[in-house]
Amino acid sequence: MLDNYSVVDIETTGLSIKGNRITEVAALKVSGTRIVDKFEMLVNPEVDIPAEITQLTGIDNNLVRKAKTIDKVLPKFLDFLGDSIVVAHNATFDYNFLDYNINRYLNKRLENKSLCTVKLARKLFPDITSCRLSSLCNYFDIENVNAHRAMSDCFVTNKLFLKFQAIMHNHGIEDERSIFEFVGTPGKKLNLCVSNFT
């Protein structure tokens, strides 16, 4: 199992990295199986949040009006993250969104290694019908009490990742090197059945 990693999730005003803004950033720092620290900040996007996004996330203009802007949030987030591995659900979205903003506002790049629980789910359970976070929570009987809020999504993503690590461990995929090799090797899958783990 990974010794140290950070589970990361963001909420945004939409799906376009260049056209939309971050409204919330959260992360959990995990050592072994234990959560050792938390990071959670609302972000003032300096634009109106679309009604459909508010309906989805519960984050509205009033909630973020007095929040810090992303250029003030990102240095604190990077300090929290350090050099830990980033774990996220649909990690490409979160990672690229953060990297774009870090480059834009801080003239840096996000260089941490990353692991995606969507990719892991597909590697472990190729026949799974949906890898949405809500679907995987249903499959594995994990309750997400405040779905589409960053910290709540971090907690359930971590629960999924711990389950996936335990499964991989039982199949000889036990450390950072072997986990990244498993994820990065095209065609390498375990072909497990979800019902055996629920």
Which residues are known to be catalytic? 148
Q: What is the CA radius of gyration of the chain?
A: 17
133: exposed, middle or buried (Cβ count in 10 Å: 0-12, 13-18, 19+): buried
**DSSP state at residue 46:** S
Q: Residue 145 belongs to what H/E stretch?
A: none
Q: How far is CA 2 from CA 28, 78, 83, 84, 155, in A?
A: 14, 20, 14, 10, 17
Question: What DSSP string describes 78-128?
Answer: HHHHTTPEEEETTHHHHHHHHHHHHHHHHS------EEEHHHHHHHH-TT-
